[in-house]
Amino acid sequence: MPELRKDPIVGRWVIISKERGKRPSDFVVEKEIAKGGFCPLCPGHENTTPEEVLAYGRNHGEPNTPGWTLRVVPNKYPALMIEGDLDKEGEGVYDKMNGVGAHEVIVETPNHNETLAELSPERLVQVLWSYRERIVDLKKDIRFRYVMIFKNYGRAAGASLEHSHSQLIALPVVPELVCEELQGAKTYYNYKERCVFCDIIRQELTRGTRLVCENEDFLTITPFAPRSPFEMWILPKRHSSSYMDVTDGEFSRLAQIFSETFRRLNGAIPHVPYNYVLHTKPLREVASDYYHWHFEIMPKLTMIAGFEWGTGFYINPTPPEDAAKFLRELTI
Amino acid sequence: MPELRKDPIVGRWVIISKERGKRPSDFVVEKEIAKGGFCPLCPGHENTTPEEVLAYGRNHGEPNTPGWTLRVVPNKYPALMIEGDLDKEGEGVYDKMNGVGAHEVIVETPNHNETLAELSPERLVQVLWSYRERIVDLKKDIRFRYVMIFKNYGRAAGASLEHSHSQLIALPVVPELVCEELQGAKTYYNYKERCVFCDIIRQELTRGTRLVCENEDFLTITPFAPRSPFEMWILPKRHSSSYMDVTDGEFSRLAQIFSETFRRLNGAIPHVPYNYVLHTKPLREVASDYYHWHFEIMPKLTMIAGFEWGTGFYINPTPPEDAAKFLRELTI
């Protein structure tokens, strides 16, 4: 069983995967994702993954067989284990608990070489829809407080498989960074009686210098204080604190702006590695006036080094106004 | 002039280096540090760096000439600029100020290929001494609130020059992560009336499972909740909140444990890239009962990916007890 440990000073949580128990000699630096080898996520290899928890597109077919257009499976090497109790306990000055949680892989396409930027809007709707469906399902497990949806694209951004996929981790605690974001938004709201994200959206739509693209329901901006060059946020224009509240009609516009955003990013810097993270309210909190769900996309173009480790500051050589102008004016 | 920008939600600061103004085509991924080329940090090339602010070992020689054993120079491509006023201002919902600060390079040795693990204890004392001397000097500039000392070793850890060096950045604000650490330590102290670091030191010395090495004045441990495999902290046994208070006698023991720690790390995983950061109290705060200066060393063995970006959690495959045992039992 993995262990969740808390730093007693800053309150940072760490997942210790005892099972992996790496010794020094195990740290072989893999520079590239193996290409052309066996892919456990390709159709026909369904029996090499744990049993699927969700599949779209397979009409009347048996589970764990080909024919799907999207498939969600538990991670074969999970960071957290789905079975067991939390068993919170102390160890002198320290606190720990069992690493209980869900870790799933969302296989976005049956086509090994298809990237997110290449998916049709209809297929992209399935990906975005599956995120909501998995959150709604995992919310039923009362042990979980948060579901984190994220994607690592490219080896430099942490992907270990080439086949296009997102990941999901359900956690028994609300992560520190989510708490900080909620707290910051709440402080702003208490002072101004307005959602800080709504204020940002208004300002960015009016001034336009950091606007990348928009449609009826969504906009993509480069944030004012981006951690990395070409960082982008996709936000809904309608105030809503939870991704679970996206309506069926909004999903097609979300897929449209998602597709446009990644085509612009790929047009600017072809095959750039990136991470994205869905920011949405914790499972057990009611809808709030102060929080606003959104996606944050971080291209992997700079290094996290000693200065960033020590300060939490980031050094970014590309002003977001320059990045937005470039992305906006790109012909895609 | 670079710009310091604050995220209006989480309060994270970002340094936007407008001068560098990188366009997409400028992001060429450098996998390795160029070897064997021209090194601006080697003796004889003193005129290729900005004028030195400190040098040791050059008896009666002219400044900016060879003969030194350690040399501190302003960074030729600084993240912050030493001249100018802060000019704090708003931009609608956002806050920004001029990127005023110092950015210096501490050249640890005249010998291009000599690593920290290879430096003699006497030479290592000079490195550790220079950190203190630069902090004391920069404290005189009333614009500065914090001096961050750090080292990036190896390309994967962010080093762009091969020649062994540390860096220093003086900042006009106390960084967010430092504030969080101070706040966490203060909360613990208010509750227990004891320094959390002193409690950690007592527990680690008693149990010994995470102890790597120790001497009369210092100890090295693998922390209970490490962000990366083989993360280590070097702590003074004597309670002290500021690196400026290290006594002359303590420097030789600090150099001894520094040397032993890096020789053990290098013995475990030869040439492993790493970052280290000196954690010490802000310049304008008085000595405190609740904070305890120390070094944190982070080998670069795992990836920061979407999950870490979203949660602030870290996934670590090596329990610190296993890492400490391995490091402790190594013959060096």
Sheet with A70-74: strands ordered across: A54-56, A70-74, A102-107, A165-171, A146-153, A274-279, A294-299, A232-236, A218-221, A211-214
Q: How far is the C-alpha of A116 from the C-alpha of A95, rounded, in Å?
A: 40
Contact residues on chain B for A90, CB-CB shorter than 8 A: none
Answer yes or no: is pLDDT of B304 > 60: yes
Query: Strands (DSSP E) along chain B, which ranges?
Result: 3-6, 13-16, 54-56, 70-74, 89-91, 94-98, 102-107, 146-153, 165-171, 211-214, 218-221, 232-236, 274-279, 294-299, 314-316
B32 has pLDDT over 70: no
Q: CA of A144 to nearest chain B CA: how many angstroms apart? A: 14
Mean pLDDT of B298-319: 90
CATH number, domain B177-329, options 3.50.50.60, 3.30.428.10, 3.30.230.10, 3.40.50.920 = 3.30.428.10
- Decide if pLDDT at B37 tops 90: no
Task: Name the CATH architecture for the domain at A33-175.
Answer: 2-Layer Sandwich (3.30)
Ranges of residues in chain A whose predicted pLDDT is under 70: 19-21, 27-36
pLDDT digits (tens, 9 = 90+) for B266-276: 999 999 999 99
Question: Nearest-CA neighbor of B254 among B240, B269, B267?
Answer: B240
Which percentage of chain B shows pLDDT scores above 70?
96
Pick the CATH number of B3-11+36-174 from 3.50.50.60, 3.40.50.300, 2.40.40.20, 3.30.428.10: 3.30.428.10
Q: Indicate whether B42 pLDDT > 80.
A: yes
In the stretch 114-173 of chain A, residues with CB closer than 8 A to chain B read 148, 150-152, 156-159, 167, 169, 171
Residues A18-27: tens digit of each pLDDT: 766 677 777 6
B20 Cβ under 8 Å from any chain A Cβ: yes
pLDDT of residue A28: 54
pLDDT digits (tens, 9 = 90+) for B110-143: 999 999 989 998 999 999 999 999 999 999 999 9
Look over chain B and give the mean of its residue pLDDT values, rounded to a whole number. 92
Distance CA B146, CA B169 (A): 8
Q: B103, B163, B165, B292: which is the annotated catalytic residue? A: B165
User: For B68-101, what is each residue's pLDDT tens digit?
Assistant: 999 999 998 888 988 888 888 998 999 999 999 9
Domain ranges of chain B: 3-11+36-174, 177-329
**A279 tagged catalytic:** no
Give the C-alpha separation, A70 to A55, whole Å.
6
A207: closest chain B residue by CA: B92
> What is the DSSP pairing of strand B102-107 with strand B165-171?
antiparallel
Beta bridge partners of A168: A104, A149
CA distance A26 to B301: 10
- pLDDT confidence of residue B138: 97
Nearest to B184 among A9, A17, A169 (CB): A9
Do B177-329 and B3-11+36-174 fall under one CATH topology?
yes
- Which of B21, B177, B307 lies closest to A319 in CB terms? B21
Q: Does A175 touch chain B (CB under 8 A)?
A: yes
Type of residue at A282: P
Question: Alpha carbon of A100 to those of A80, A133, A172: distances in Å?
Answer: 5, 21, 7
String of b and e for A106-116 (b: at least 16 CB within 10 Å)? bbbbbeeeebb
pLDDT at B31 over 50: no
- Annotate B169-211 with DSSP letters as a single string: EEESS--HHHHHHHHHHHHHHHHHSS-HHHHHHHHHHHH-TTE
Identity of the residue numbered B177? L
Whole-model pTM: value is 0.92
pLDDT band per the 50, 70, 90 thresholds, residue B30? very low
Nearest C-alpha of chain B: how many angstroms from A60? Answer: 35
pLDDT score, position A30: 46
Rg for chain A, CA atoms, rounded: 20
Confidence (pLDDT) at B20: 62
Give pLDDT, residue A31: 47
The mean pLDDT of B41-57, rounded to a whole number, is 96
A187 membership: H or E segment, kind and range: helix A176-192
Q: Write the ipTM.
A: 0.89
Residue from A313, A326, A328 to probe the interface with B (highest B Cβ count within 10 Å): A313
Going by C-alpha positions, the residue among A271, A58, A312 that lies closest to residue B183 is: A312
CB nearest B311 (choices: A8, A177, A310): A177
Q: How confident is the model over B175-218, as pLDDT tens digits?
A: 989 999 999 999 999 999 999 999 999 999 999 999 999 999 99
- Using CB atoms, pick whichever of B169, B184, B313 lies closest to residue A13: B313
pLDDT band at B48 (very low <50, low <70, confident <90, very high): very high
**HEC states along B55-95?**
EECCCCCCCCCCCCCEEEEECCCCCCECCCCCCCEEECCEE
Closest CA to B282 of B168, B142, B144, B88: B144
- Is A313's Cβ below 8 Å from some Cβ in B? yes
CA distance B7 to B12: 5
